[in-house]
Amino acid sequence: MSPQEFGNASELLRRVTVQVRGPGSSAGSGSGVVWSADGLLVTNAHVTRGDHAAVELWDGRRLEAAVTARDPRRDLAALRVPAGDLPAATPRDSDTLRPGELVIAVGNPLGFIGALTTGVVHAVGPLPAIGPQSWVQAGVRLAPGNSGGPLADATGRIVGINTMIAGGLALAVPSNAVCRFLRQGASGPYLGVTVRPIPLRVDGRRTLGLLVLEITPGSPAQTASLFVGDVLLAAQDRTFRSPDDLSRAIAAGGLVRVRFLRGKSTVLREVAVRLGTSRAEAA
């Protein structure tokens, strides 16, 4: 690939990358990708903590976006803006991605619009500390504001949605998982929380906690008086080894018993939650 071809691919990526702000926020809170020319956008669920968001396109236009679907299990959200004929991303089959390939990340880190960084793919697959879900793991530098932006191959085709850093590597939701989410949405029983795994020591023992980052308004979690900042430790009397342990407990439906810590207290609390069912929001 010539430098000119690489430059053209980079410019295309900048044009399909948007800035996403939460309601009432003056600072950029994350990034997103124009997935189709008719105004369908994709970002991380943790970037859009509500039903609406403010979006700024590459040409400076500012539009209000409606959140049409959300899946905190994969940290994905779909948005719709009232615009057409937009430059749109071209997804690639992420199953064809191989270690050593050059990848490009674009986003809006720390207020720098359209910042670009490059690196190589280290692996495509699960991380034992996070769970069985697959990630594109790449040696690219991400910063706050990159979340929700595109990870692309050297030709500009999207291979993932940048989500977080773990073990010094950038983790992106594979493009195939994004396409499934857009086709099917999130479905089944749901609790209504967005969580992030954190290591803990409880009663002198190492364990995994799930820090609650977001509570969906009107969800079973809110009804059960779970709060942002609570740390979930177990479901159905089973401690967590990965976030998917919570997902499996939820998938069974019905009533789920959740054990958690709140604030600086070391006292364990427990609540029984009657799960709901939704196609638009699930966790």
* Residues with a known catalytic role: 46, 75, 147
- Contact predicate 169/198, CB 8 Å: no
C-alpha torsion 247→250→251→256, nearest 10: 150
Contact residues for 150 (Cβ-Cβ < 8 A; gap 6+)? 13, 16, 17, 31, 33, 89, 105, 106, 107, 158, 160, 161, 162
Three-state DSSP class for 96?
Answer: helix
β-pairing, 150-153 vs 158-166, is antiparallel
Buried b (16+ CB within 10 A) or exposed e, 94-131: beebeeebbbbbbbbbeeebbbbbebebeebeebeebb
